[in-house]
Amino acid sequence: MANNYSYGFQSMEVYDELHPKLQRIVDELIKHMDVSLLEGIRGKVEQNNYFASGTSHVRWPNGRHNVTEPGQKSRAVDMQPYPYDPKSERRILFMSGLAKGIAEGLGIRVIVGSDWNNNGVLADQKFHDLFHLELHSSEV
């Protein structure tokens, strides 16, 4: 059964910031699940603020959300199921796993914020960013 999900205005703005490989992944994801794209490109002040607050492990310009050249696209996206229910971690993990599976089906290596070391074991993570999907370094 085909779903009629589509991105809203804010999600489309984020979509335009994404690397084409991430666009391919989220293009397929929206066919299966309604999601909101929250953040693509992240500026220097935002990145360093996230680092200072512990929301990120890296300073500017070392994050996959960070771009340093005009015309560059974000190599990471933060997204969430729509509508968002902060009590439903399982739904977020489902979205994350679905996005990773779609990426693998497309032949694109990614890392999800629930499994930074890409070993398939979520319990060994010290830092959880369940909304995060990024291109593996071999993809860029």
Distance CA 79, CA 94 (A): 12
Q: What is the pTM of this model?
A: 0.95
Going across the sheet that includes 132-135, the strands are 35-39, 76-81, 132-135, 110-112
Computed from CA positions of residues 38, 13, 62, 113, in that sequence, does the dihedral angle turn out positive or negative? positive
Q: Which residue, among 22, 18, 3, has the nearest Cα to 106 in the 3D structure?
A: 22
* Band of pLDDT at residue 46, cut at 50, 70 and 90: very high
Domain definitions of the chain by residue range: 9-139
Residue with the bigger pLDDT between 57 and 2: it is 57
What value does the mean pLDDT of the chain take?
Answer: 95
Distance CA 125, CA 51 (A): 18
State the average pLDDT over residues 105-131: 94
What CATH code is assigned to 9-139? 3.30.1380.10
pLDDT of residue 2: 65
> What pairs with residue 35 in β-bridges?
81
- Which tokens is 140 given? 């860029």
